[in-house]
Structure 1
Amino acid sequence: MKRQRGRGRVALAGMAAMCAVAALPGQAWAVGEPNPYAFDSEAKAVRGSAVNSDGPPLTAGSTYKDTIRPGEKRYYRVDLDAKTNAYVSAVAVPKLATKVGYADKLTVSIEDRSGTKCGDDDAQFGSATYVRPVAAYADRTIDKDSSSCQEAGAYYVLLERSSEGTSTPEPWDVEIRFASEPGLKSAGPTAPPESWPSASPAAPGGGPEKRHGGTSFTDATGLTQGEWQDKITPGQTLFYRVPVDWGQQIFASADLGTSAADDSAQGVGNALVLALHNPARGIVQDASSVYYDGKQKSLAMDPVPPVAYENRYDSDPSTSAMRFAGWYYLSVTLNPEVGEEFGETAIPLTLRVNVEGEAESAPAYAGPAGDFEVTKDDQEAADSGKSAPEAAKSDTMQLVAAAGIGAGIVLVLGLGVWTLLARRRTATATAGLGAAPTPGPVGQGQVPGQAPAPRQAPGPGQAPGPGQYGPPPSW
Structure 2
Amino acid sequence: MRQRSRGRVTLAAVAAMCAVAALPGPAWADGETAAYTFDPGAEAVGGAVVNTDAKALKAGSVYRSSIKAGEKLYYRLNLDATTNAYVSAVAVPKSGGKVAYGDGITVSVRDSSDLQCSSEDARFESAEYPRPIAAYAYRVVEKDSSTCQGPGTYNVLVERESKATSGPEDWELELRYATEPELADDAAMPTEAPEDWPSASPAPPTPATDNRRQGGSGYYDATSLETGEWKDEITPGQTRFYRVPVDWGQQIFATAGLGNSTASDEYVSGALAMALDNPAQGHVGDASPMAYSGKPASVSLDPVPPVAYRNRFAASSSVSAVRFAGWYYLSVTLSPEVAEAYGDKPFPLTLTVKVEGKAEGSPYAGDAGIFAVTDKDKDLAKSGKSGPQAAESESDTMKLVGAAGIGAGAVLVLALGVWTLLARRRATAVTTDGGQPPYGGPPQAW
For the aligned pair, the TM-score class normalised by the smaller chain equals: 0.7 to 0.9
Determine if the alignment matches structure 1 residue 157 to structure 2 residue 146: no
Structure 2 letter corresponding to 1:253? T
Structure 1 letter corresponding to 2:116? K
Q: Residue 248 of structure 2 aligns with which residue?
A: 246
Q: Residue 71 of structure 2 aligns with which residue?
A: 72
SS in 2 for 1:349: strand
SS in 2 for 1:303: coil
Structure 2 letter corresponding to 1:375? T
Structure 1 letter corresponding to 2:337? E
Q: Distance in 1 between matches of 2:239 and 2:291?
A: 18
Structure 2 letter corresponding to 1:221? T
1:98-117 maps to which residues of 2 (within 5 A)? Answer: 98-117=97-116
Q: What is the Cα deviation at residue 416 of structure 1? A: 8.8
Q: Residue 323 of structure 2 aligns with which residue?
A: 323
Q: Give ranges in structure 1 of 5+ residues lacking alignment.
A: 1-22, 27-33, 436-466, 469-475
Q: Residue 56 of structure 1 aligns with which residue?
A: 55
Return closer, same or farther for 1:434/1:338 CA change in 2, 3 Å cut-off: closer
Q: Distance in 2 between matches of 1:216 and 1:47?
A: 21
Q: Distance in 1 between matches of 2:202 and 2:144?
A: 38
SS in 2 for 1:284: strand
Return closer, same or farther for 1:110/1:393 CA change in 2, 3 Å cut-off: same
The Cα offsets for residues 289-309 of structure 1, whole Å up to 9 and x where unpaired, read as 322111111101111111111
Q: Residue 286 of structure 2 aligns with which residue?
A: 286
SS in 2 for 1:89: strand
- Greater Rg, structure 1 or structure 2? 1
Q: Residue 233 of structure 1 aligns with which residue?
A: 235
Return closer, same or farther for 1:433/1:237 CA change in 2, 3 Å cut-off: same
Q: Distance in 1 between matches of 2:185 and 2:297?
A: 48
Q: Residue 216 of structure 1 aligns with which residue?
A: 218
1:122-137 maps to which residues of 2 (within 5 A)? Answer: 122-137=121-136
Q: What is the Cα deviation at residue 80 of structure 1? A: 1.6
The worse-fitting range, judged by mean Cα deviation, of 181-190 and 424-433 is 424-433
Kept in 2, the 8 Å contact 1:35–1:95? The answer is: no
Q: Distance in 1 between matches of 2:375 and 2:283?
A: 25
SS in 1 for 2:292: coil
Q: What is the Cα deviation at residue 143 of structure 1? A: 1.2
Q: Distance in 2 between matches of 1:152 and 1:423?
A: 76
1:259 to 236, 258, 261: 261
Return closer, same or farther for 1:24/1:303 CA change in 2, 3 Å cut-off: closer
Determine if the alignment matches structure 1 residue 120 to structure 2 residue 119: yes
Q: Residue 464 of structure 1 aligns with which residue?
A: none
Kept in 2, the 8 Å contact 1:75–1:157? The answer is: yes
Return closer, same or farther for 1:24/1:370 CA change in 2, 3 Å cut-off: closer
Kept in 1, the 8 Å contact 2:259–2:296? The answer is: yes
Return closer, same or farther for 1:278/1:410 CA change in 2, 3 Å cut-off: same
Q: What is the Cα deviation at residue 338 of structure 1? A: 1.0
1:428-443 maps to which residues of 2 (within 5 A)? Answer: none
1:346-365 maps to which residues of 2 (within 5 A)? Answer: 346-365=346-365
The Cα offsets for residues 5-34 of structure 1, whole Å up to 9 and x where unpaired, read as xxxxxxxxxxxxxxxxxx9979xxxxxxx9
The Cα offsets for residues 170-210 of structure 1, whole Å up to 9 and x where unpaired, read as 11011111111112132122122232211110110135611
The Cα offsets for residues 377-404 of structure 1, whole Å up to 9 and x where unpaired, read as 1111111111111111122233334445
Q: Residue 15 of structure 1 aligns with which residue?
A: none
Return closer, same or farther for 1:384/1:24 CA change in 2, 3 Å cut-off: closer
Q: Distance in 2 between matches of 1:320 and 1:125?
A: 22
Q: Residue 380 of structure 1 aligns with which residue?
A: 379
Q: What is the Cα deviation at residue 315 of structure 1? A: 1.0
The Cα offsets for residues 265-304 of structure 1, whole Å up to 9 and x where unpaired, read as 3x01111101011111111100133221111111011111
SS in 2 for 1:392: helix
1:416-455 maps to which residues of 2 (within 5 A)? Answer: none
Kept in 1, the 8 Å contact 2:31–2:233? The answer is: no
Return closer, same or farther for 1:422/1:318 CA change in 2, 3 Å cut-off: same
Q: Distance in 2 between matches of 1:291 and 1:421?
A: 79
Kept in 2, the 8 Å contact 1:257–1:297? The answer is: yes
Q: What is the root-mean-square deviation in Å for CA atoms of aligned residues? A: 2.8
Q: TM-score, normalised by structure 2?
A: 0.83
Q: What is the Cα deviation at residue 410 of structure 1? A: 6.7
SS in 2 for 1:389: helix
The worse-fitting range, judged by mean Cα deviation, of 411-420 and 382-391 is 411-420
The alignment of Structure 1 onto Structure 2 pairs a total of residues equal to 405
Kept in 1, the 8 Å contact 2:185–2:363? The answer is: no
The Cα offsets for residues 68-127 of structure 1, whole Å up to 9 and x where unpaired, read as 111111111111222221111101100122111111011111111111111111111112
SS in 2 for 1:336: coil
SS in 1 for 2:268: coil
Q: Residue 25 of structure 2 aligns with which residue?
A: none
Q: Distance in 2 between matches of 1:152 and 1:406?
A: 52
1:75-94 maps to which residues of 2 (within 5 A)? Answer: 75-94=74-93
Kept in 1, the 8 Å contact 2:104–2:123? The answer is: yes
Structure 2 letter corresponding to 1:368? D
Q: Residue 140 of structure 1 aligns with which residue?
A: 139
SS in 2 for 1:78: strand
Determine if the alignment matches structure 1 residue 201 to structure 2 residue 202: yes
Q: Residue 295 of structure 2 aligns with which residue?
A: 295
Q: Distance in 2 between matches of 1:408 and 1:155?
A: 56
